[in-house]
Structure 1
Amino acid sequence: MRYEGVLTKMRTEITDEVQYYMNWENDFINLNQILGKKISINFLKYECLNCHLEKKIFRQGFCYDCFSSIPQAGDWVINPELSKAHLDIEDRDLEFEKRSQLQPHVVYLANSSDVKVGVTRRSQIPTRWIDQGAHEAIEIVEVPNRYLAGITEVALKDYVSDKTNWRKMLTNDVLDLDLAEEREKLKAHIPEEAQEYYLASNKETEINFPVRQYPKKVKTLNLGKTPFYEGVLKGVKAQYLIFEDGTVFNVRGHEGFVIEINIGV
């Protein structure tokens, strides 16, 4: 089977085991169904996810011009504490920023490699946790806007990491922890403005990924440097494909790359 199209973040569905989908313009691949099969990936060209021109991808699937101008790539996206829509202050497009920022956001703990703190829109749970490869996660606070979530995350970063060790996550070098207990330890450090939104009773969510073989050591596939690769697919975790030879491919890191995929038997 042959597929061709521009790469975007894999879609997911949480069941007993996370279901992963690569979506193309008129088709899709359920990656769970092709575990154990040989697949080849061939890089053809770039296509910016915003302007759709054949321009080299700079970041997040966008060319440099788009990344530097569109509201979807504003600084507040990566640094939510910089959000200003609640003050009626525009960054790049106030209408877009109000839609994105002035909605319920969650600050959470996720365990992908070690415990980390993070921020996401309420509507993105559990998708955000899956994308980070978290095998367990729990909410800390649910606040009405992105700014409050951002200042809460900043305050808690003094006591817990905000980064995922992706190599440990992909080799499954992880521990199971009591995240409710970890959440309680952080309660006193939540900013006063967000204290009333503390979630004391939410239960921990457990996530199982479709991985049949974890690599002992990972080597990354960069299509910009190695435009063709072939290997046996052994698992999918976070936004990575995991192959039998230890190669891992970050799908999200290649958004905007037009590729051809061939699936063997």
Structure 2
Amino acid sequence: MDYPAGQGISVLDRAKTADPDIVGRSKRLWLLPGGQCLVQIIPSLRSFTYERDELVERTGPLRLDFYEKAAARLAAAGVPCAFRERISADFYLADYRPAPPFEVIVKNRATGSTTRKYPGLFEDGALLPRPVVKFDYRCDPEDQPIGEDYLRALGLPVEAMRERALAVNDVLREWLSPVEVWDFCLIFGQADDGELTVISEISQDCMRLRHQDGSPLDKDLFRDGVAGDEIVNQWSRILDVIQ
């Protein structure tokens, strides 16, 4: 695959000669002039619940394949997204917005933390009567649910984030059908004018997706102990059914 030969290619030199400014669980980030950043995807897969933390080569480019398409869909629907330009298999340019220490999760089905933390309320995989939006405080070793009033006490636009998360849900569900979106997580950053921007990656690493045959196309494969080569094979299947 060929990538644009504009500004992005030149800034790759920085990644070769300078340490990243920020290193997270799954990304390295170099700050650039003009409010942008260079991001490298780390091909890491992590599950606190199942005590797995591994590098799975080839998942990084697959994640970026998905994210590049998802960002274009969100932008076309009027949802601001930090992604700007893909410049290699695992590098891209983005607008830089400081990441808050919490994420927004949308659930269309009861799964994962819903059935694990609240046993007996829902059957695993049950379709929820309407999408559920929740907020998690991002901390090691495991993210924790946080009450919305704490976020309001920090002056954060909770209702606007809820509405924006549901808008993302609508876009993803329509785009990916007949693949089913069970849940996903987002991180919102804010511009100087307060505008909310999706600054997190949207990919198989941060979603639960089910093929029309019922099989998982996401990190649940890793959670279930599937080997790296098979994860790559299954993650590639999603690219066959999306535009």
The TM-score with structure 2 as length reference comes to 0.27
TM-score scaled to structure 1, two decimals?
Answer: 0.25
Q: Which has the larger radius of gyration?
A: 1
Does 1 or 2 have the higher relative contact order (CA < 8 Å, sep 6+)?
1
